[in-house]
Amino acid sequence: MIITLLMDNPKSWFYPFAENLKEKLGGLGHEVELVHTTDDIKDGELAFFLSCEKIIKQPIRDKNKHNLVVHSSPLPAGKGWSPMTWTILAGENVITSTLFEAVDAVDAGVIYIQNSITFEGGELLPELHAAQGQAIVDIIIEFLSAYPEVIERGEEQVSEESFYERRRPEDSKLDLNKTIADQFNLLRVVDNEKYPAFFNYKGSKYILKIYKDNN
């Protein structure tokens, strides 16, 4: 099959996983392109929109028979931004990935496959991303192994939906009146470079970076 992988943000944490996915799909005999703009999407069988930040409109989706997205929540619950982060912040450690058909509405298409991973509760962002990225690769491989029959098993989203807001650097702010234990899930999901944990004290801003000692 002719398959396109679109990542409109090449600086995304997911990029190495997209490259790995391209290699795996090529090894299965598919013709695969990894592109960064919708202008480069070819006419083909399948297009996967990976960690995309923009809605892909119908004229672009018409280039392929099916257009797929993987979202890290049990849709229709948890639509929107940073679902894994919000799940961890809620004190939960089971992350569900949902592979579904892209439509005009956000995270609203027919669901084909779901899988889940369970964390122990002490993983930091690099470990969270490593497991999340592999789960996304795995669910795409699973979809392809069952394609096209899997399309007939697709289910519309009918249960109650919920939405997550976009997280911003200020959401990494620590509360000096709470313990480290109280805020550990926040420390797990902060990015030490892009949006590190911080607190304000006596007119100054202090930045904290967290690492795990595996020795």
126-144, pLDDT tens digit by residue?
Answer: 999 999 999 999 999 999 9
| Under 8 Å between Cβ of 174 and 197 | yes
Alpha helices in the chain (DSSP H): 15-27, 58-61, 83-89, 125-146, 149-152, 184-189
Model pLDDT, residue 52: 84
Model pLDDT, residue 185: 98
Q: What percent of the chain has pLDDT over 90?
A: 91
Digit-coded pLDDT (tens) for 169-193: 999 999 999 999 999 999 999 999 9
Model pLDDT, residue 198: 98
pLDDT band at 17 (very low <50, low <70, confident <90, very high): very high
pLDDT band at 208 (very low <50, low <70, confident <90, very high): very high
Q: Fill in the DSSP letter of residue 181.
A: T
What tokens were used for 122? Answer: 């002490």
Q: From CA 73, how far away is CA 76, in angstroms rounded?
A: 8
Q: What percent of the chain has pLDDT over 70?
A: 100
Model pLDDT, residue 215: 77
Phi and psi, residue 39, nearest 5°: -60, -25
Q: From CA 168, how far away is CA 175, in angstroms rounded?
A: 16
Selected residue with higher pLDDT from 94 and 51 = 94
Phi and psi, residue 188, nearest 5°: -65, -30
Q: Where are the domains of the chain?
A: 2-164, 169-208
pLDDT at 214 over 90: no
Model pLDDT, residue 83: 96
Model pLDDT, residue 79: 95
Q: Is 200 left (phi over 0), alpha (psi -120 to 50) or beta?
A: beta
Model pLDDT, residue 43: 95
CATH 3.40.50.300 for domain 2-164, yes or no, is no
What is the model's pTM? 0.93
| Under 8 Å between Cβ of 163 and 80 | yes
What tokens were used for 63? Answer: 């280039």
Q: How far is CA 111 from CA 45, 103, 105, 154, 206, in A?
A: 18, 11, 14, 5, 44
Model pLDDT, residue 85: 97
Residue 73: other Cβ atoms inside 10 A: 22
Digit-coded pLDDT (tens) for 40-78: 998 999 999 998 877 889 999 999 999 999 999 999 999
Alpha helices in 28-81 (DSSP H): 58-61
